[in-house]
Amino acid sequence: MSLQRRTTLALAAGLVFVRPGRAATGDLAAAVNAFAGGKAPQPGKVKLDISTLVENGNAVPVTLSVDSPMTGTDHVKSIALFNERNPQRDVVVFQFGPDAARATASTRIRLATSQQLVAVALLSDGTAWSH
């Protein structure tokens, strides 16, 4: 019985050391880079609409939109939202096709503290845009 107790205590102590800590800000750039396929997103075309001051961080409304004609040859393929302080940087990814009337999406996210958010859109011509 004491062997199980020692094993359990050793595993519990090991979990304290394995537990991930708060990720560094540089991870945000790496997540954006991975989504954009190594391309540096250009500023513009994407609009990230979020209130600068919110009362409750549990359900913060966010709207993402991209200025695009949404035709068969020129449309938004996807929009992603990234945040700075979450261990998992990607918050949400929306997929679009040429049949979508507009490249607009809304959701609610949880934000515990003030932090940087980045919206990145990938277009059908291979370009990446951000806000």
- List all residues 6 or more positions away from 121 whose beta carbon is below 8 Å from its beta carbon: 45, 46, 64, 66, 76, 78, 79, 80, 103, 128, 129, 130
- Do 48 and 109 touch, CB atoms closer than 8 A? no
pLDDT given at position 5? 57
Q: What would the pLDDT profile of 8-58 be if each residue is shown by its tens digit? A: 444 444 433 333 334 444 688 999 999 999 999 999 999 999 988 888 888
| pTM, 2 dp | 0.76
